[in-house]
Protein backbone atom coordinates (compact mmCIF):
# COMPACT_ATOMS: atom_id res chain seq x y z
CA UNK A 1 0.00 0.00 0.00
CA UNK A 2 1.56 3.31 -1.03
CA UNK A 3 1.96 5.95 1.65
CA UNK A 4 1.72 8.91 -0.69
CA UNK A 5 0.26 9.92 -4.04
CA UNK A 6 3.78 9.93 -5.50
CA UNK A 7 4.35 6.30 -4.48
CA UNK A 8 0.94 5.38 -5.92
CA UNK A 9 1.77 6.99 -9.26
CA UNK A 10 5.12 5.16 -9.37
CA UNK A 11 3.18 1.93 -8.84
CA UNK A 12 0.64 2.81 -11.54
CA UNK A 13 -2.25 3.33 -9.11
CA UNK A 14 -3.88 6.31 -10.78
CA UNK A 15 -7.04 6.24 -8.64
CA UNK A 16 -5.21 6.35 -5.30
CA UNK A 17 -6.99 8.15 -2.46
CA UNK A 18 -4.97 8.56 0.74
CA UNK A 19 -6.44 7.71 4.11
CA UNK A 20 -7.91 10.75 5.87
CA UNK A 21 -5.49 12.39 8.31
CA UNK A 22 -6.64 14.46 11.27
CA UNK A 23 -5.39 18.02 10.76
CA UNK A 24 -4.21 18.00 14.38
CA UNK A 25 -1.39 15.68 13.24
CA UNK A 26 0.28 18.36 11.10
CA UNK A 27 0.60 22.12 11.14
CA UNK A 28 -0.92 24.68 8.85
CA UNK A 29 1.31 27.27 7.23
CA UNK A 30 1.22 31.06 6.92
CA UNK A 31 3.28 30.87 3.72
CA UNK A 32 1.77 32.63 0.72
CA UNK A 33 0.58 30.37 -2.10
CA UNK A 34 3.16 29.99 -4.86
CA UNK A 35 6.14 31.01 -2.73
CA UNK A 36 9.24 28.88 -2.23
CA UNK A 37 8.29 28.63 1.44
CA UNK A 38 4.83 27.21 0.62
CA UNK A 39 6.24 24.80 -1.95
CA UNK A 40 8.75 23.55 0.64
CA UNK A 41 5.91 22.90 3.10
CA UNK A 42 3.93 21.01 0.46
CA UNK A 43 7.00 18.96 -0.51
CA UNK A 44 7.61 18.01 3.11
CA UNK A 45 3.98 16.96 3.49
CA UNK A 46 4.29 14.70 0.44
CA UNK A 47 7.49 13.14 1.80
CA UNK A 48 5.75 12.51 5.13
CA UNK A 49 2.70 10.94 3.45
CA UNK A 50 0.43 13.73 4.68
CA UNK A 51 -2.30 15.53 2.75
CA UNK A 52 -1.07 18.49 0.71
CA UNK A 53 -3.65 20.86 2.12
CA UNK A 54 -4.53 21.83 5.67
CA UNK A 55 -7.85 23.59 6.22
CA UNK A 56 -6.10 26.48 7.98
CA UNK A 57 -3.33 27.03 5.39
CA UNK A 58 -3.05 30.57 4.16
CA UNK A 59 -5.00 30.77 0.91
CA UNK A 60 -4.28 34.34 -0.22
CA UNK A 61 -2.79 37.65 0.85
CA UNK A 62 -5.78 38.52 3.06
CA UNK A 63 -5.55 35.27 5.07
CA UNK A 64 -2.61 36.51 7.14
CA UNK A 65 -4.38 36.06 10.49
CA UNK A 66 -6.11 32.75 9.77
CA UNK A 67 -3.23 30.25 9.59
CA UNK A 68 -1.90 28.78 12.81
Q: What would the pLDDT profile of 46-60 be if each residue is shown by its tens digit? A: 888 888 899 999 988
d(CA 67, CA 58): 5
pTM above 0.75, yes or no: no
pLDDT digits (tens, 9 = 90+) for 3-43: 777 888 899 998 888 788 999 999 999 999 999 999 999 99
pLDDT class of 68 with cuts at 50, 70, 90: very low
What per-residue confidence (pLDDT) applies to 55? 94
What per-residue confidence (pLDDT) applies to 43? 94
Amino acid sequence: MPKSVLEAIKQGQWNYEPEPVDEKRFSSTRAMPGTDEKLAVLAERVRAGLPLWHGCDRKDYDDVDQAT
